[in-house]
Amino acid sequence: GAVVSQHPSWVICKSGTSVKIECRSLDFQATTMFWYRQFPKQSLMLMATSNEGSKATYEQGVEKDKFLINHASLTLSTLTVTSAHPEDSSFYICSASDRGQGTGELFFGEGSRLTVL
Amino acid sequence: GESVGLHLPTLSVQEGDNSIINCAYSNSASDYFIWYKQESGKGPQFIIDIRSNMDKRQGQRVTVLLNKTVKHLSLQIAATQPGDSAVYFCAENSRNSGYSTLTFGKGTMLLVSP
């Protein structure tokens, strides 16, 4: 099946620094990628929809200046958590749909665990 | 979609039992449903999907049932194994939205005892 890779899988940073997380579709082209946030024992919450070549669409309550999303190519989207604070510590997961399929199935990355000290 | 809960409901079963995990959805326009398995510290893993023109679909050891009348989805796991222990999420999508938004249910933690 299609593979989505996230990097890094875990990161620890100091408060006030910025962290970039990459999401790559390895064997397919993804016009659209999605970024989720997941707190312990909770479901995935959609943060934003990343569209190749255009601005991301953010869900209500998600600060676009805090969580910068760039989808520069059909295989790469990045999420930058700017000026991270301890409350930003979470599990961030991306997913992508294969534009060649058009079935709606999403392929998920393995997630990136961010810990802000 | 469903609201997100702070505490995951838990289903505890013995190895070899059959497990049934339930999910309710609210969007009448949803026409594509997926079950995901998420192990600790990992991303969701696709298990099985079903489209609204079906009410049952079977995979290897898993069966998904869809009842559109009451907006209910279930995942049945036959002969549950310890390796099935994980959190299971249902998700819904809609062609009307161009399959642009996948809405997740709150999840159920499955604990399988040997």
Q: What is the pLDDT of residues A38-91, one digit of tens each?
A: 998 889 999 999 888 888 999 999 999 999 999 888 899 999 999 999 999 999
- Between the CA of residue A55 and those of A59, A64, A68, A71, A72, what are the distances in Å? 13, 10, 10, 8, 10
Rounded to the nearest 5 percent, the helix, strand and coil shares of chain A are 5, 50, 45
Q: Is B107 on the interface with A (CB under 8 A)?
A: yes
Chain B residues touching A34 at Cβ < 8 A: 102
Tell me what pLDDT residue A53 has. Answer: 82
Residues 6+ apart with CB under 8 A from A79: A20, A21, A23, A35, A47, A67, A68, A69, A92, A94
Chain B residues touching A111 at Cβ < 8 A: 41-43
CB contact under 8 A, B105 and A43: yes
Chain B closest-CA separation from residue A80 CA (Å): 19
| Whether the predicted pLDDT of B1 surpasses 80 | no
| Whether the predicted pLDDT of A117 surpasses 50 | yes
Percent of all residues in chain B with a pLDDT value above 90, rounded to a whole number: 73
Q: Which amino acid type is present at position B55?
A: D
Q: How confident is the model at residue B39 (pLDDT cuts 50, 70, 90)?
A: very high
Q: What is the DSSP letter of B95?
A: G
Q: Is B60 on the interface with A (CB under 8 A)?
A: no
